[in-house]
Amino acid sequence: MPSRTRKIGGRRRHRGGKTHTRSRVLSLKRARKSYRRRVKASHCRGKRARTCAKSHGCKHAKGKKRSFCRKKKNTRRRRR
């Protein structure tokens, strides 16, 4: 699968997005990693519909294609 980034004059560039310098790439990686860690630690993950509905702080989300258990409250990742 071809990459969507091109190297132009020492900088990496995304189509239709911000220019990805080395520091930007690292910060995005860090953010992605912290998100993964937070999501994996969620007590709602992997529960079935009934168990999810009974659990405090969990919500069973269902749509056209799939359904899953998620946290009721959405939390924002704050910068320091």
Please give the average per-residue pLDDT across 39-54, as a whole number. 92
pLDDT attached to residue 69: 94
- Per-residue model confidence (pLDDT) at position 62: 93
Structural domain spans, the chain: 1-41, 44-73
- Pairing label, strands 58-62, 67-71: antiparallel
- State residue 7's pLDDT score: 55
The tokens 């405090």 sit on which residue?
56
5: helix, strand or coil: strand
Question: What distance in Å separates the CA atoms of residue 52 and residue 50, rounded to the nearest whole number?
Answer: 5
pLDDT attached to residue 73? 85
pTM over 0.85: no
Higher local confidence (pLDDT), 20 or 67: 67
